[in-house]
Amino acid sequence: MPGAIYLPEVLYTIADRLETKGAAVLLVGGAVRDMVMGQDVKDYDIEVYGLTTLDELESVLSKFGSVSQVGKHFGIVKLRIGDVEYDFSFPRTERKTGRGHTGFEVEIDGMLDFKEAAHRRDFTINAIGYNIKTYEILDPFGGLNDIRYKILRHIDDSTFIEDPLRVYRAIQFAARFGFDVAENTAVLCKQMVASGVLEELPKERIYEEWKKLLLKAPKPSMGFGLMREWGITEHCFLELHALIDVPQDTKYHPEGDVWTHTMLSIDAMASILNKEEKVESRSCRVLSPDSTTDKHRNEKRALKLLFAELCHDFGKPMTTTVEEGCIKAIGHEKAGIEPTRSFMYRLTEEHDFIESILPLVEHHLKPSQFYKQGAKASAIRRLATKVNIEDLVLVAKADFLGRTTPEAKKGVYEAGEWLLGKAEELKVKNRPIEPILQGRDLIALGMQPSPRFGTILDEVYGLQLDGVISDREGALDHVKRHHCQ
């Protein structure tokens, strides 16, 4: 990375100001790694060397925007300029003093040299610095070489094992960047898993690394492969581990066991979502240069679909039977609901999010079944009351593509296209049809509110779903004839 690289102009101005006070300003961590790899940088972490007190740093930064004291214990000062936030920090050392991610003794020292400060970091690729003023790259542990040869390597045994989360970070980094994990790093990670230290991690921290794996890795299966190889699935996620060696009918699944199919399916879903994101990004630019998508909403939906794909066959280990060479897993879709719920609650307490995944697991066979059966409009309308059909089709499509059948290799999921077309016609692609009648309509007919209202409204809605009733007049007529005598 020769010469100057692009950074927000304000960082150069701040670096100039700090230089007058004898300080050197370095861009550090993931920002440098991503720039070297030609990726977009979203977060800028800056370390300031040569100052003795945080007050000096705050005095300079306060002239550019709002300064926050959050993280001051760790020598971190946040600077907000408009909608953009920058993290400025003093170099520091950390020493493990107890269990958990809070069991560290932090020592801030503005006079440390970069190599000593970078020694606390996890991997060589995250320990590269970039001097904003001189354009000099500081690479004390060979991170640039590891990037060149696509190797993920930890810096130091003794510091690496101080935070068990680094095992999960190794997994998501390797999968995101397509890096091989250095042999000594892999051995150390296996040892940490076997020792049980990962069990001290709060689920919230684990979940954050899972999200990065699922949302950022082109092929999340690489990360899950490492989890399996290092013993994490066996020790921590038995629902996932149980998929290994569960046989499948080779007519429909020539690719192998349920684990293999699930890994192909999760990669297919990641590919589908990546294509969707690119199309949406182009559409936003065409519509308006200032339009932005709701990133949180989009990520939440993507996570829902990815987790649904990961869990869609969790019911197969308990339902698979082999009789006279015939392999079946009858009812596996419904059997997968409880293991999915159990699995997800070990990652997060987001109840509504978990509940949104379950219908996708329960009904993931419906698109193919409905297509083969030529399902009627009433069945499709009723399905829409249980699950978002557009999302369901994506889960079913990834399930279909996660195989090595000739049909799957063509990449066209005819069943899904058929169901989406029907759902579009019926106006139930993303939501069920609205009930024609409400309680107030029954009151307008002179009926007194009672528990019967729910029964009557459900009856009318059922007839609406079946296509027997299609307008308000017909609904009111039905109620008058059957419930107003």
Give the domain ranges of the chain: 1-149, 164-231, 237-425, 439-483
Asked whether the CA dihedral 378, 379, 385, 387 is positive or negative, the reply is negative
Alpha-carbon distance of 351 to 355, in angstroms, equals 6
| Per-residue pLDDT at 295 | 74
Alpha-carbon distance of 296 to 126, in angstroms, equals 26
Pairing status of strand 84-89 against strand 45-49 = parallel
| Per-residue pLDDT at 325 | 85
CB 34 within 8 A of CB 41: yes
Tokens (6 digits) for 402: 């996660």
* SS3 state at 363: coil
* SS3 state at 410: helix
User: CATH topology for 164-231?
Assistant: Hydrophobic Seed Protein (1.10.110)
Residues of the chain with pLDDT under 50: 1-3, 286-292
| Per-residue pLDDT at 291 | 44
| Per-residue pLDDT at 349 | 96
User: CATH topology for 1-149?
Assistant: Beta Polymerase; domain 2 (3.30.460)
How many residues in total does the chain contain? 485
CB 359 within 8 A of CB 387: yes
Residue with tokens 């038995």: 238
How distant, in Å, are the alpha carbons of 183, 318, 329 from that of 314? 32, 8, 11
Model confidence over 105-149: pLDDT tens digits?
A: 667 777 888 999 999 899 999 999 999 999 999 999 999 999 999
Runs of H (alpha helix) within 312-413: 316-319, 332-335, 337-345, 351-362, 366-373, 377-384, 389-401, 406-410
Burial class (CB in 10 A: 0-12, 13-18, 19+), 86: buried
Tokens (6 digits) for 14: 């701040």
**Residue-wise DSSP of 206-248:** HHHHHHHHHHH-S-THHHHHHHHHHTHHHHH-HHHHTTTT---
CB 420 within 8 A of CB 271: no
Burial letters 286-295, b for 16+ CB under 10 A, else e: eeeeeeeeee
Neighbours of 302 (CB within 10 A): 20
How distant, in Å, are the alpha carbons of 183, 228, 259, 475 from that of 244? 24, 9, 5, 52
Would you say the CATH fold of 237-425 matches that of 164-231?
A: no
* SS3 state at 464: helix
Alpha-carbon distance of 78 to 87, in angstroms, equals 5
Whose CA is closest to 388, among 304, 471, 445?
A: 304
| Per-residue pLDDT at 95 | 63
End-to-end C-alpha distance for the chain, whole angstroms? 84
Tokens (6 digits) for 262: 């699930």
CATH class of segment(s) 237-425? mainly alpha
* SS3 state at 331: coil
Output the pTM of the full model.
0.91
Amino acid found at 477: D
C-alpha 459 chain-centroid distance: 40
| Per-residue pLDDT at 40 | 84
| Per-residue pLDDT at 96 | 58
Tokens (6 digits) for 145: 């070489």
